[in-house]
């Protein structure tokens, strides 16, 4: 019984299309005489949650809008779902979900009404594998807005509105979902709910590209974090990997005979052992501290903002060679 | 380009647009603020009618009030087609409605079809409201019936075609909804020289010529020809309803608008992005704050 089920499941899984959903190489963007992006490159695989992390003005929105096909790039190769976004047709667009930040649009519409309306555009793009659009009641339940279904959109709270934005973004059952700063202005509880929602989508094999300037959010959500700074990707890896790279050096602090000491070392374990072999009982107040990803990130942002380092140098902070 | 046919996604989006227009029409007539706007417009039209209902229009056998009622209906049509379209487009560009349309497949098709339905419906209802209120206040309007009323069947749709696309072009080109407010001044000027509140023949000849360039005059004329008694033609230029000229001028505006609007709309839509919207939102917030 379960075997048959598994077989039929396998039979209905998406065709073995290329596993790379986003492929960006040497993306450049120039406004007037200013370079906003200087050679951004990264890829995203099917079902991955990739978080584009960076300080304000790093070029996150620009990058995401190039991928959405909303903005023309100056140079570089970009492939999204097998097509160049600059030439993506409506069939291609039907496979994308874009979560926009609502402000006061469609204020007179009711929640269910607008969701059903926007969903209806996707019906011609339904396939045997993907039923489009998402059933409105199911979707409302998924984003926790069942009770607000008949409310006017203008009367929703900030958190409800943001969840509604996500519902609109995914009503066409996208293969790839873009979210630009989705949790800006959300309270911690709404943020928590939102994170659960995004993880759930990824579990259903939706690829998610999300931007944020909040490191904690990136660590919580991302399969992979891309740090964008100074117009380039300065770090690319899972949160743990980046943390490991960032914390290659540790600081050891101790006291001996009432005096404080501090030593930076790449091998704190060995250093501490030697310390005790040498001084034994005289050592007190021992503290070994590895730089956290947060320390490294915040230091980098600060240095980039004051202009004391370049993007290239920032890349080195994450143990990443220039690319 | 997707194939065009009843089953194609474009048609699908167009039908979604029909529903969209219908929904928005229903909303505008069930929302307090909008209803107030519609009521205020009707009252503003009615007041001069009331004041001039007994003032005779020399040689035409009707009162000045009777002359004004169909003229103002024509003005309402032109005004809604031009300004409401422009206003909605500018507002919905700023608030992100358009960006949302752009993010769904063929969403712009649905958006535009919806807007056409919504604006046309609003224009028709506003005209009907003015007529319903005015017909009890002044004598001699809409008594002819029959053939004269048939004129409405071509004048009204042609009027919509002449004004909506131009409104869409204006709405695409202005920087913000506030700019539409500034446009009101020249539009008011256009109304003054369009023979709405008094016959155009009262104006100096050169102003008559200028007035006859714009669709407002011809819409007023077309509606007068449909709703006033035959004798009222004596108040018109050349003692004629000039149907041929009406069709030609309105048709000219329609063709010009329909030629211009698609490319202007496309250019405007192409430029819409989250960043552009964010910038406008930020500016608008500055203004509010």
Residue spans per domain, chain B = 9-271
Query: Structural domain boundaries of chain A?
Result: 10-242, 247-317
Whether A180 sits inside 8 A of B274 (CB atoms) is yes
Residues of B in Cβ contact (< 8 Å) with A90: 2, 9, 105-106
Closest among A234, A231, A309 to A38, alpha carbons compared: A231
Angle at B277 between CA A180 and CA A152, to 5 degrees: 80
Residue pair B232/B61 in contact by the 8 Å Cβ criterion: yes
Whether B272 sits inside 8 A of A70 (CB atoms) is yes
For an interface test with B, the pick among A105, A114, A123, A172 (most B C-beta atoms closer than 10 Å) comes out as A105
CB-based contacts of A250, cutoff 8 Å, min separation 6: A264, A265, A266, A268, A288, A289, A290, A291
Tokens encoding B147 = 């053939």
Whether B275 sits inside 8 A of A172 (CB atoms) is no
Q: Give the distance from residue A69's alpha carbon to the nearest chain B alpha carbon, in angstroms.
A: 9
Residue of chain A with shortest Cα separation from B9: A124
Residues of A in Cβ contact (< 8 Å) with B99: 100
Tokens 């960032």 found at: A246
Tokens encoding A157 = 């709270």
Residues of B in Cβ contact (< 8 Å) with A120: 12, 16, 19
Q: Give the distance from residue B219's alpha carbon to the nearest chain A alpha carbon, in angstroms.
A: 32
Tokens encoding B53 = 């209902």
For an interface test with B, the pick among A117, A172, A177, A178 (most B C-beta atoms closer than 10 Å) comes out as A117
Residues of B in Cβ contact (< 8 Å) with A96: 103
Cα Rg for chain B, rounded, in angstroms?
Answer: 20
Omega before A133 cis (within 30°)?
A: yes
Kindly give the confidence (pLDDT) of every residue in chain A, 323 residues in length, as a single tens digit, with 9 standing for 90 and above.
344 444 444 444 444 455 899 999 999 999 888 888 999 999 999 999 999 998 887 889 899 999 999 989 999 999 999 999 999 999 999 999 999 876 789 999 999 999 999 999 999 999 888 889 999 999 999 888 999 999 999 999 888 888 899 999 999 999 999 998 888 777 888 888 888 888 888 888 899 999 998 888 898 899 999 999 888 898 899 988 888 777 777 888 999 888 888 888 888 888 888 888 888 888 888 888 877 778 778 877 777 777 666 666 666 666 654 33
What residues does A306 pair with on adjacent strands?
A: none
Rounded CA-CA distance A72/A138 in Å is 36
Residue pair B13/A121 in contact by the 8 Å Cβ criterion: yes
Task: Determine the pLDDT at residue A206.
Answer: 92
Residues A148-193: pLDDT tens digits? 999 999 999 888 888 899 999 999 999 999 998 888 777 888 888 8
Rounded CA-CA distance A22/A43 in Å is 5
Residues of B in Cβ contact (< 8 Å) with A104: 95
Q: Give the distance from residue A148's alpha carbon to the nearest chain B alpha carbon, in angstroms.
A: 18
Rounded CA-CA distance A119/A116 in Å is 5
Rounded CA-CA distance A174/A133 in Å is 9
- Pick among 3.30.420.40, 3.40.30.10, 3.40.50.300, 3.30.1460.30: CATH of A10-242: 3.40.50.300
Rounded CA-CA distance B112/A39 in Å is 38
Task: Determine the pLDDT at residue A303.
Answer: 74
Task: Determine the pLDDT at residue B9.
Answer: 87
Whether B100 sits inside 8 A of A168 (CB atoms) is yes
What residues does A224 pair with on adjacent strands?
A: A50
Tokens encoding B195 = 């023979």
Q: What share of chain A is helix, strand, coil (3-state, %, to 5)?
A: 40, 25, 30
Tokens encoding A12 = 């209905």
Of B2, B24, B99, nearest to A100 by CB-CB distance is B99
Closest among A233, A228, A245, A237 to A317, alpha carbons compared: A245
In 3-state terms, what secondary structure has residue A99? strand
Query: How many other C-beta atoms lie within 10 A of the C-beta of residue A151?
Result: 15
Is ipTM strictly over 0.85?
A: yes
Rounded CA-CA distance B163/A47 in Å is 49
Residue pair B194/B211 in contact by the 8 Å Cβ criterion: yes
Residue pair A37/A78 in contact by the 8 Å Cβ criterion: no
Whether A106 sits inside 8 A of B273 (CB atoms) is no
In 3-state terms, what secondary structure has residue B174? coil
Of A68, A104, A122, nearest to B105 by CB-CB distance is A122
Tokens encoding B192 = 């003054």
Residue pair B105/A122 in contact by the 8 Å Cβ criterion: yes
What residues does A43 pair with on adjacent strands?
A: A23
Task: Determine the pLDDT at residue B269.
Answer: 85
Rounded CA-CA distance B164/B115 in Å is 9
What residues does A254 pair with on adjacent strands?
A: A261
Exposed, middle or buried: residue B111 (CB in 10 Å: 0-12, 13-18, 19+)?
buried
* Count of CA atoms in the C-beta half-sphere (13 A) of A260: 6
Rounded CA-CA distance B44/B66 in Å is 16
Residue pair B131/B77 in contact by the 8 Å Cβ criterion: no
Chain A: residues touching B (Cβ < 8 Å):
61-62, 64-65, 68, 70-71, 89-91, 93-94, 96, 98, 100-106, 108-109, 113, 117-118, 120-125, 168, 172, 180
Residue of chain B with shortest Cα separation from A71: B273
What residues does B34 pair with on adjacent strands?
A: none
CB-defined contacts A:B, below 8 A: 90
Residues of B in Cβ contact (< 8 Å) with A61: 274-275, 278
Residues of A in Cβ contact (< 8 Å) with B280: none
Q: In sequence order, what DSSP letters do the residues of A47-62 get, joined into one string? A: T-EEEEE--TTSSHHH
Residues of A in Cβ contact (< 8 Å) with B28: 108
Kindly give the confidence (pLDDT) of every residue in chain B, 289 residues in length, as a single tens digit, with 9 standing for 90 and above.
445 555 688 999 999 999 999 999 999 999 999 999 999 999 999 999 888 888 898 888 899 999 999 999 999 999 999 999 999 999 999 888 999 999 999 999 999 999 999 999 999 999 999 999 998 888 888 776 667 778 999 999 999 999 999 999 999 999 888 889 888 889 989 999 999 999 998 899 999 999 999 999 999 999 999 999 988 999 999 999 999 999 999 999 999 999 999 999 988 888 887 777 777 777 777 765 4
Residues of B in Cβ contact (< 8 Å) with A64: 274
Alpha helices by DSSP H, chain A = 2-11, 60-68, 90-93, 111-120, 136-142, 158-170, 188-203, 215-221, 239-246, 268-279, 293-306, 311-317
Residue pair B225/B245 in contact by the 8 Å Cβ criterion: no
């Amino acid at each position: 019984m379960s075997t048959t089920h598994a077989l039929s499941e396998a039979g209905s899984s998406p065709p073995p299309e290329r596993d790379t959903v986003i492929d960006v190489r040497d993306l450049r963007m120039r406004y007037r005489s200013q370079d906003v992006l200087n050679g951004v490159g990264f890829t995203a695989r099917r079902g991955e949650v990739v978080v584009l992390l960076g300080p304000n003005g790093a070029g996150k929105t620009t990058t995401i809008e190039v991928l959405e096909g909303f903005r023309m790039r100056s140079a570089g190769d970009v492939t999204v779902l097998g097509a160049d976004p600059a030439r993506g047709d409506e069939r291609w667009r039907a496979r994308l979900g874009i979560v926009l930040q609502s402000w006061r649009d469609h204020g007179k519409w009711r929640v269910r009404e607008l969701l059903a309306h926007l969903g209806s555009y996707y019906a011609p793009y339904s396939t045997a594998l993907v039923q489009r659009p998402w059933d409105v009641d199911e979707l409302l339940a998924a984003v926790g807005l069942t009770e607000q279904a008949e409310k006017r959109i203008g009367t929703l709270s900030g958190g409800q509105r943001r969840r509604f934005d996500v519902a609109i973004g995914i009503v066409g059952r996208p293969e790839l979902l873009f979210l630009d700063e989705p949790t800006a202005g959300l309270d911690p509880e709404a943020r928590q709910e939102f994170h659960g929602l995004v993880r759930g989508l990824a579990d259903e094999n939706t690829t998610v590209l999300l931007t944020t300037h909040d490191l904690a959010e990136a660590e919580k959500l991302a399969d992979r974090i891309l740090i964008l700074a100074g117009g380039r990707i300065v770090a690319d890896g899972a949160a743990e990997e980046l943390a490991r790279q960032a914390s290659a050096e540790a600081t050891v602090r101790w006291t001996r005979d009432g005096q404080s000491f501090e030593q930076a070392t790449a091998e704190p374990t060995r250093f501490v052992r030697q310390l005790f072999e040498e001084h034994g009982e005289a050592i007190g107040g021992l503290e070994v501290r590895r730089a956290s990803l947060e320390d490294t990130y915040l230091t980098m942002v600060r240095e980039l903002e004051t202009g004391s380092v370049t993007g290239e140098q920032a890349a080195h902070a994450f143990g990443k060679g220039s690319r | 380009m997707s194939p065009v046919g009843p089953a194609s996604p474009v048609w699908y989006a167009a039908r979604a647009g029909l529903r969209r227009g219908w929904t928005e029409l229903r909303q505008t007539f069930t929302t307090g603020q909008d209803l107030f706007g519609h009521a205020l417009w009707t009252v503003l039209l009615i007041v001069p009618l009331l004041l001039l209902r007994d003032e005779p229009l020399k040689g035409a056998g009707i009162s000045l009030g009777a002359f004004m009622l169909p003229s103002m209906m024509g003005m309402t049509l032109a005004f809604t087609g031009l300004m409401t379209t422009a206003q909605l487009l500018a507002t919905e560009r700023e608030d992100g409605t358009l960006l949302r349309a752009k993010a769904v497949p063929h969403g712009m098709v649905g958006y535009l079809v919806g807007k056409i339905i919504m604006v046309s419906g609003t224009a028709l209802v506003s005209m009907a409201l003015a007529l319903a209120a005015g017909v009890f206040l002044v004598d001699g309007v809409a008594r002819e019936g029959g053939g004269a009323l048939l004129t409405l069947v071509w004048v009204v749709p042609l009027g919509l075609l002449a004004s909506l696309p131009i409104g869409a072009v204006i709405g695409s080109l202005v920087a913000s909804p506030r700019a539409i407010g500034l446009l009101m001044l020249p539009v008011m000027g256009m109304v003054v020289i369009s023979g709405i509140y008094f016959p155009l023949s009262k104006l100096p000849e050169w102003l008559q010529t200028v007035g006859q360039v714009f669709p407002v005059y011809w819409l007023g004329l077309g509606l007068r020809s449909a709703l006033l008694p035959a004798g009222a033609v004596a108040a018109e230029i050349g003692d004629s309803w000039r149907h041929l000229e009406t069709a030609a001028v309105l048709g000219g505006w329609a063709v010009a608008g329909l030629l211009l609007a698609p490319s202007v709309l496309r250019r405007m839509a192409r430029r819409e992005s989250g960043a552009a919207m964010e910038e406008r939102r930020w500016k608008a917030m500055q203004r509010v704050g």
